[in-house]
């Protein structure tokens, strides 16, 4: 398996923000930051499909670290908010096949032009009401 995040973790070579037992946080590659303080949070254990195949304990630990990083952005950087971004699965636009969350601090005056969010809309329409299909799928899991 060739995974840049697994390699960074194994080599202990990232610009670390936090290293926890189950998840880590680090700065993205220089020049790829959306804002000062932009941080990537990933589980130590590899999962190809992101939130689609991560174990519940790894997901809980990773999202808790996301929350802590977001809170630190407000407290230490003076951010007035954060954007948490994730793309999971083959057609999601992800660039690395390992669960990761971008935690991006937002500041007054950033404006929508710096908002990291997809700008296009999908034309795919499922057979049936999407909300009803989702609700039924979730009920069947319970």
Domains of the chain, residue spans: 4-118
In the residue annotation, 98 being an active-site residue is answered as no
The predicted structure's pLDDT at residue 112: 76
pLDDT in tens, 77-122: 999 999 999 999 998 888 899 999 999 999 988 877 766 666 777 6
Please state, in angstroms and rounded to a whole number, the distance separating the CA atoms of residues 50 and 59: 9
Catalytic site residue from 38, 100, 102, 124: 100
| Residue 30 pLDDT class (50, 70, 90 cuts) | confident
Q: Which CATH architecture has domain 4-118?
A: 2-Layer Sandwich (3.30)
Instruction: Tell me the whole-structure pTM to 2 decimals.
Output: 0.86
pLDDT in tens, 41-50: 999 999 999 9
The predicted structure's pLDDT at residue 9: 96
Please state, in angstroms and rounded to a whole number, the distance separating the CA atoms of residues 46 and 113: 33
């Amino acid at each position: 398996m060739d995974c840049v995040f697994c390699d960074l973790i194994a080599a202990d070579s990232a610009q670390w923000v936090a290293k926890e037992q189950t998840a880590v946080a680090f700065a993205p590659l220089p020049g790829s930051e959306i804002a000062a303080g932009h941080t990537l949070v990933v589980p130590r254990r590899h999962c190809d499909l992101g939130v689609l195949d991560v174990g519940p304990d790894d997901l809980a630990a990773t999202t808790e670290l996301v929350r802590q990083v977001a809170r630190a952005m407000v407290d230490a950087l003076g951010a007035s908010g954060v954007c948490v971004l994730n793309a999971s699965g083959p057609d999601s636009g992800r660039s690395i096949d390992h669960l990761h969350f971008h935690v991006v601090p937002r500041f007054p005056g950033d404006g929508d032009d710096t908002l990291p969010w997809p700008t296009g809309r999908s034309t795919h329409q499922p057979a049936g009401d999407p909300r009803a299909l989702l609700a039924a799928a979730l009920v069947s899991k319970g």
